[in-house]
Structure 1
Amino acid sequence: MNWQAVLSIYRYEMNRTFRTLAQSIVSPVLSTVLYFVVFGTAIGQRIDTVDGIPYGAFIVPGLVMLTLLQQSVTNASFGIYFPKFIGTIYELLSAPISFIEIVIGYVGAAATKALMIAAIILITSTFFVDLTIAHPVFMIMFLVLTSVSFALMGFIIGIWAGNFEQLQLIPLLVITPLVFLGGAFYSITMLPPGWQAVSLFNPVVYLISGFRWSFFGLADVPVGLSILAISVFLAACLTAIWWIFRSGWRIKP
């Protein structure tokens, strides 16, 4: 394993983040705070508690997960797409490093940036609500697994995308709606039985449910299913990336 190459890619991506600090960190945090103020104030006045949890605290895991998914995918997809766009990816592919080292560098940086923003949002939320974490080890596990899995997905999107419009297509039209419909701001037990059954086909439900359980000890689906869901998704993304580099799909002329 060429750790020097991995570190070089990682440092380059992290430095790019700090060069665009307002866009990379401040903007998503402010957007999430606005979500929190609007939902926590406007809806919180009409919904006191959900399953015995104050509504303002109840939505914190959903807001963190919403930002974590968006940032993991966006950072990883742009990180690998930009070398494709300017043509430097061929220099990267011709360098004496393996695809594993390339993936670790880009995905590791994207996941790190997403985790940084998630941590800032968690800290910020404590200024608005009283927040306790029942299972901190599981919370960290869900954060790391989710950020790495969706950074891998973003890496795949960055390789697939042929232009900047396609780069934003899946995060905007797929991931964000799935999060909103996945119980980020409500419990799926509040839905009619038919819609509860439909919601179980939304993979994000399992992520948000497991992550919320780590805070409050309450979940819409069994925690074991949540861990299994994110593990299967992680394995699927790793398999897809292995096939991409093996076949040269979208990265070799």
Structure 2
Amino acid sequence: MNLYAIRAIYVFEMSRTWRTLLQSIVAPVISTSLYFIVFGGAVGPHMNAINGVSYGAFIVPGLIMLSLLTLSVANASFGIYFPRFAGTIYEILSAPASPFEIVCGYVGAAASKSIMIGVIILVTARFFVAFDIAHPVWMASFLILTSFAFSLFGFILGIWADGFEKLQLVPLLIVTPLTFLGGTFYSIDMLPPFWRTVTLANPVVYLVSGFRWSFFGASDVGVGVSLGMTVVFLILCLIIVSWIFRTGYRLRA
């Protein structure tokens, strides 16, 4: 394995984060803090506890997952799209680096950024609401698995997109709405039976539910199902990435 190639790509992508610190880290943390202020501080005291958890604490895992999904997709998709747009992708493809090493560099950097921001938001949330983490190891596992899975998805999106409009299309019209409708601000048990059944078709429900279980020990769906759905999505993305490099889809055109 060419560790120098992985390190070169990883360091280059991470350095872009430090150059755009306000946009990459400060802005997402401030945006999420506003949710805590509005929903946790203003709305929360007027809401009933959900599964024995105050509303302010209940939305913490959902808001972290909201940031995690959107940032993982955005970081990974832009990271691979820009070399394609600038034409420098051919230098990467001709370098002595395998597809696995290229993916490790880009996806590893995108996932690292998302995990870092998720941890910062988790720490920031303690300034607004009080909560405990019942299963910290599982919380970290869901955090890492979800970051890598959606960074891979973002990598696929960055290769598929042939313009900045398409680059924003999927995150804005699919990922963000699914996250809002995936139990970020509510429990799906609060929905009527028909809509609860419909909501179970939303894959984000399983991610949010499993992550919330790691905090409070209660979830809308079984934690095993949540973990299984996350792993299946990760494997599916790996298969698609493997096919892209095998066929050269939108890489050699």
Counterparts of 1:79 and 1:100 in 2: how far apart (Å)?
16
SS at match of 1:26: helix
TM-score (norm. length: structure 2): 0.99
Corresponding residue number in structure 2 for 1:24: 24
How far apart are 1:37 and its partner, in Å?
A: 1.3
Counterparts of 1:42 and 1:181 in 2: how far apart (Å)?
21
What amino acid is the match of 2:57? A
What amino acid is the match of 1:71? L
Corresponding residue number in structure 2 for 1:219: 219
Matched, 1:58 2:58: yes
Cα deviation, 1:229-251, whole Å, max 9, x if unaligned, reads 00000000000000000001111
- Structure 1 gap ranges (5+): none
Corresponding residue number in structure 2 for 1:49: 49
Q: Is the 8 A contact 2:41 2:128 kept in 1?
A: no
Counterparts of 1:131 and 1:19 in 2: how far apart (Å)?
33
SS at match of 2:179: helix
Counterparts of 2:129 and 2:42 in 1: how far apart (Å)?
15
SS at match of 1:97: coil
Q: Which range moved further: 173-182 or 38-47? A: 38-47
Corresponding residue number in structure 1 for 2:87: 87
- Structure 2 gap ranges (5+): none
Counterparts of 1:72 and 1:30 in 2: how far apart (Å)?
17
Q: Is the 8 A contact 2:40 2:129 kept in 1?
A: no
SS at match of 1:34: helix
Counterparts of 2:78 and 2:38 in 1: how far apart (Å)?
30
How far apart are 1:185 and its partner, in Å?
A: 0.4
How far apart are 1:43 and its partner, in Å?
A: 2.6
Cα deviation, 1:170-189, whole Å, max 9, x if unaligned, reads 11110100011000000000
What amino acid is the match of 2:128? F
Corresponding residue number in structure 2 for 1:158: 158
Corresponding residue number in structure 1 for 2:73: 73
What amino acid is the match of 1:22? L
Corresponding residue number in structure 1 for 2:245: 245
Corresponding residue number in structure 2 for 1:136: 136
Counterparts of 1:126 and 1:39 in 2: how far apart (Å)?
14
Cα deviation, 1:138-167, whole Å, max 9, x if unaligned, reads 000000000000000000000011111111
What amino acid is the match of 1:124? T
Seq. identity, %? 64
How far apart are 1:36 and its partner, in Å?
A: 1.6
How far apart are 1:46 and its partner, in Å?
A: 2.4
Counterparts of 1:202 and 1:233 in 2: how far apart (Å)?
13
How far apart are 1:51 and its partner, in Å?
A: 1.2
How far apart are 1:45 and its partner, in Å?
A: 3.2
What amino acid is the match of 2:87? G
What amino acid is the match of 1:29? V
Corresponding residue number in structure 1 for 2:179: 179
